[in-house]
Structure 1
């Protein structure tokens, strides 16, 4: 990548970073191209060079958030984990992203506000659901849980349960209690899947 391309990529990332903070805090309607341009130091013309409309920025944030780790891909440093251990690591990783990653928080808010945004967003969570189904199959293969009737359905429900917990945590405490609530969720859900030794997986 030459110097001009590198500078252009850096500017684009800076715009997305500022936009993520604005969308997470103010929502789509409360965020303007002008504010993003001012706070990023890029200028309105340069913002619109990279993104023709505010909705294009929103799409880029949503696509970036839900297509990368920890949603669809193995967690960094967790390639060795399989089955139930990998499910726990993935859920904890996503929980941390919801709490600490402003781009994920922005993406979640934007998806929630889809009805006022003139664009079709990439469907969230589907990659994570598929990952959960894959890990459940590993857990069965490794003898950690008994065979399941439908791995895709179980993966869907794990993700849906998580999203409900995080949404409730957001509404009631601004996600301050999310780590505790997620641990409680897993302590309830894992035995339902047939996990017997909870301490082995949740003790860490």
Structure 2
């Protein structure tokens, strides 16, 4: 019986998170109320409060639950420049297909609305990108004069801006193209010219195949 109760509680918790994601994705943190979330999730406010003490606690759970950027490095045999490129395309894909990721990213951007903003999610993204680029610099894939920590901050900030613009202009329909453009403009500044052809701003063939993205020859993106 205890196990059955735990399973029901977890089902309710996930329903609340799904409902909160839909509500936050639609209206953002400031406008969305706990009543909105309970209605969207199909639960009572009592059930909601049993699992989450506040709207901010729900928001933080969604931010923590979004795409696990660290898993990209763990899955890579040799993290490097292409890993960082693929990371942004993977996030772009999840933004287009997962309401939880969309809500989580929107909430990260709206951190200023929180009573106690916590930059840990941004820092995690930045650390992950840096951990891709640092070994790449050691292998000569990044110019020695480049500060990889600064580049990681720039990549995360640029991606955040690109995805917002894509959402406003096209509902993120052109997000992968815009991300590819971002890398097309950035790579020549950080990668030695003799190694530039090793990296594809549209994503690696394996990533494009796994996400059913257009092949490189279908993208009109020029590097260099």
TM normalised by structure 2 equals 0.78
Per the alignment, do residues 28 and 188 of structure 1 end up closer, same or farther by CA in structure 2, a change over 3 Å counting? same
- SS class of match (2:141): coil
Instruction: Say if 2:20 and 2:58, in contact at 8 Å, map to a contact too.
Output: yes
Q: 1:17 to 1:148 in 2, by over 3 A?
A: farther
Take 2:114 and 2:10, find their aligned partners in 1: how far apart are those partners?
26
Across the two proteins, how many residue pairs are aligned to each other? 200
C-alpha distance in 1, partners of 2:130/2:59? 29
Which residue of the partner structure matches residue 19 of structure 1? 20
Q: Does the CA-based 8 Å contact 1:59-1:121 persist in structure 2? A: no
Provide structure 1 residue ranges, at least 5 long, that are not aligned to the other structure. none
Let me know the Cα RMSD of the aligned residues: 2.4
The within-5 A match list for 1:167-178 is 167-178=164-175
Please give the secondary structure, in 1, of the residue aligned with 2:46: helix
One of 180, 183, 186 as aligned partner of 2:180: 183
Contact 2:73 2:79 in 1 (8 A): no
SS in 2 for 1:147: coil
Question: 1-side partners of 2:83 and 2:164: how far apart?
Answer: 23
Instruction: Tell me how far apart the structure 1 counterparts of residues 124 and 114 of structure 2 sit (CA, whole Å).
Output: 23
TM-score normalised by length of structure 1: 0.85
**Distance in 2 (alpha carbons) for counterparts of 1:55 and 1:164:** 24
For 1:81 and 1:101, the matched residues in 2 are separated by 28
Match of 1:175, SS state, is coil
